[in-house]
Structure 1
Amino acid sequence: MIVNRNLKFGQVLFYTWKSILYYAVLSVLVYFLHHELEIDDLSVPFNAVALLSTALAIFLGFKNNSAYDRWWEARKIWGLLVNYSRAWGREILTLSFAVEGDPSGELDAWRHRLIYRHIAFVHALRVFLRGRHEYNNIDEQWIETSNTYDDIRPFLSAAEAEEVLSKENPPNYLLMIQGRELLEAHRRGWLSDYRFVQLSQTLTEFNNHQGKSERIKNTPFPRAYSFFSRVFVFLHGTLVPFAFVEVLGIFNIPLALLINFIFLSLDQIGERTEDPFENRPSDTPLTSISVTIEQNLKEMLDETDLPQKTEKIHGVIF
């Protein structure tokens, strides 16, 4: 997630330089053909281009609003995951009670195990959604961001980690193990019927968060919006130099580039916002949220070796 108020031109240029180069060459070529070689049949009616610009602006605005809705929904889902994770830690620690005759420390070990396994679930869900190890180009520097299942190993036993990672859906399997542990705690008397149901409901919320995230991840933004926006921006950008060449002369070159850059930027904003789980600079900051949850739950266990909050890298938090 980009947190700096100002974007560096290098970050914008990384995604747009090919198109800008095309529009620059085209603008220079149109000027040269019209004014140097005196070819008079290159002009396009200004009103036609202006009408196309208006229609394209409306289309891009609708597309960007729809793409932002996907991004904001993803952020709300993970914001709720933070809240329910804190509730999970509190409920595990306050709703379970030892019974007479239990070996000393067994309940504490169970509590620690369930909280640590939930931290593993959060990190596993992050990796599952992003789906790959990602390198990001920020300010012309390649930044490596951790996105592997090795991040969950410190929170599980070696055998359990291998079992979980052998599954197609590791985060879902971790929730299954949590459910088994709750059932065992209920059988041993650590949880009453009501408290068992309450914890099971919280566990179900984690299923809901995963399912909602997978819905966004696995349902692409309507391809017609993305395809036709690129086509329309390209066609519009190609026509712009022809609309001003006769009136502005050489000043047509910078003006055409400015107009095309505006529409190109609007199109790219939607393209970079529509898929919030790709581990790109503009995406939902899953790593930062995961570390926050880990930090909060470890603090509930009175641990002092807490992870450091994710620092922004060139104005970006992953």
Structure 2
Amino acid sequence: MIVNRNLNWRHILFYTWKSLLYFFILSVIVYTLHHEFDMEKLTVPFNVIALLSTALAIFLGFKNNSAYDRWWEARKIWGLLVNYSRAWGREVLTLSQEPDGIPSEELTAWRERLIYRHIAFVHALRVFLRHPHDYNENGEDLIEAPNDYADIRPFLSQEEADEVLSKHNPPNQLLLIQGQELQEAYQRGWLSDFRFVQMGETLTEFNNHQGKSERIKNTPFPRPYSFFSRVFVYLHGTLVPLAFVEELGLFNIPLALLINFIFLSLDQIGEMTEDPFENRPSDTPLTSISVTIEGNLKEMLGEKEIPPKPVVTGGVVL
């Protein structure tokens, strides 16, 4: 997620330089043909461009609002995951107890196991939703990054980690094991009927968070919006130099480039927002949220070594 108020221009140009180069070359060609080769009919009425600009702005605005809704829904889902993760830690530590009221070493180990397994679930869900890529220190380019399931191994036993990673859906497998552990605790008398049901409902909420995230991940933004917005931006940008070349002459080149940059930026905003789990600079900061949950739960266990939050690099937190 981009957190700096001022965007990095190197990052902006990384995504727009090819299109801007096309619009620049086109503007130069239009100026040369019109003024050097006397092709005075190579123009388009200004009113046509004005109408196209208005229609394109409305279209891009609608597209960007829809894309932002997807991004914001993803952020709300993971915000709820933070809340329910804290509730899960509290329930594990306070609702489970020995029949005689004195916690045993087995119960203490069981509590720690369930909390650590949930940390593994959060990290596994993050990896499950993302592509295995990250961005360099300037947030400019894709590079290989340690965004893989190795992050969950410190929280599981070797056997359990191997079992979970052999499944197509590791996060779902972890929730299944959590449910089995609850059943075992209920049979041993560590959980009453009501407390067993209560903790089972919390596990169901984790299923809901995963399912909602998968719905966004697996349901692409309507392709016609993305396709036609790019077509309309290039069509509009191709006509812009033809509307001002006669009156503005050489100044038409920077003006056309500026106008095209504005519409190109609007289109790119929607493109970068519509899929919030692709591990791009503007996406939902799953790594930061996962580390926050990990730190909260470890603190509830009384541990002193709390993981630091990911640093902001190049104005981006992942």
Equivalents in 2 of 1:112, 1:4: separation in Å? 38
* Residue 299 (structure 2) pairs with residue 299 (structure 1): yes
CA contact (8 A) 1:89 1:297 kept: yes
Aligned to 1:66: 66
CA contact (8 A) 1:136 1:281 kept: no
Listed one character per residue, the Cα deviations across residues 216-237 of structure 1 (whole Å, up to 9, x for unaligned) are 0000000000000000000000
Equivalents in 1 of 2:136, 2:184: separation in Å? 44
Aligned to 2:123: 123
Equivalents in 2 of 1:153, 1:231: separation in Å? 46
Code of the residue aligned with 1:292 in structure 2: it is: T
Equivalents in 2 of 1:140, 1:225: separation in Å? 25
CA contact (8 A) 1:20 1:261 kept: yes
* Residue 202 (structure 2) pairs with residue 178 (structure 1): no
Equivalents in 2 of 1:17, 1:220: separation in Å? 26
Equivalent pairs, count: 318
Aligned to 1:3: 3
Matches within 5 A, 1:11-90: 11-90=11-90
Aligned to 1:155: 155
Listed one character per residue, the Cα deviations across residues 100-121 of structure 1 (whole Å, up to 9, x for unaligned) are 4999400000000000000000
Matches within 5 A, 1:100-115: 100=100, 104-115=104-115
Equivalents in 1 of 2:66, 2:137: separation in Å? 26
Equivalents in 2 of 1:300, 1:291: separation in Å? 14
The change in CA–CA distance for 1:143 and 1:311 in structure 2 (over 3 A counts) is farther
Aligned to 1:234: 234
* Residue 255 (structure 2) pairs with residue 255 (structure 1): yes
Equivalents in 2 of 1:246, 1:205: separation in Å? 63
Equivalents in 1 of 2:28, 2:248: separation in Å? 13
Equivalents in 1 of 2:268, 2:313: separation in Å? 21
Equivalents in 2 of 1:8, 1:103: separation in Å? 54
Question: Any idea what SS the aligned residue of 1:138 has?
Answer: coil
Equivalents in 1 of 2:101, 2:238: separation in Å? 81
Q: Percent of pairs identical after alignment?
A: 77
CA contact (8 A) 2:133 2:142 kept: no
Code of the residue aligned with 2:181 in structure 1: it is: E
Matches within 5 A, 1:258-277: 258-277=258-277
The change in CA–CA distance for 1:44 and 1:184 in structure 2 (over 3 A counts) is same
Equivalents in 1 of 2:131, 2:246: separation in Å? 52
Equivalents in 2 of 1:113, 1:58: separation in Å? 53
Question: Any idea what SS the aligned residue of 2:280 has?
Answer: coil
Code of the residue aligned with 2:159 in structure 1: it is: A
| Gap runs ≥5 in structure 1 | none
Equivalents in 1 of 2:5, 2:102: separation in Å? 56
CA root-mean-square deviation: 1.5
CA contact (8 A) 1:137 1:143 kept: no
Equivalents in 2 of 1:232, 1:205: separation in Å? 42
Listed one character per residue, the Cα deviations across residues 148-206 of structure 1 (whole Å, up to 9, x for unaligned) are 00000000000000000000000000000000000000000000000000000000000
Code of the residue aligned with 1:80 in structure 2: it is: L
Question: Any idea what SS the aligned residue of 2:281 has?
Answer: coil
Code of the residue aligned with 1:210 in structure 2: it is: Q
Q: What is the deviation of 1:273? A: 0.1
Equivalents in 2 of 1:141, 1:243: separation in Å? 36
TM-score normalised by the chain length of structure 2 = 0.97
Aligned to 1:278: 278
Equivalents in 2 of 1:101, 1:288: separation in Å? 38
Code of the residue aligned with 1:56 in structure 2: it is: L
Aligned to 1:199: 199
Listed one character per residue, the Cα deviations across residues 118-159 of structure 1 (whole Å, up to 9, x for unaligned) are 000000000000042334573657666431000000000000
Equivalents in 1 of 2:132, 2:139: separation in Å? 22
CA contact (8 A) 2:49 2:236 kept: yes
Q: What is the deviation of 1:38? A: 1.1
TM-score normalised by the chain length of structure 1 = 0.97
Equivalents in 1 of 2:241, 2:112: separation in Å? 66
Question: Any idea what SS the aligned residue of 1:38 has?
Answer: coil
* Residue 219 (structure 2) pairs with residue 219 (structure 1): yes
The farther-off stretch of 189-198 and 34-43 is 34-43
The farther-off stretch of 304-313 and 86-95 is 304-313
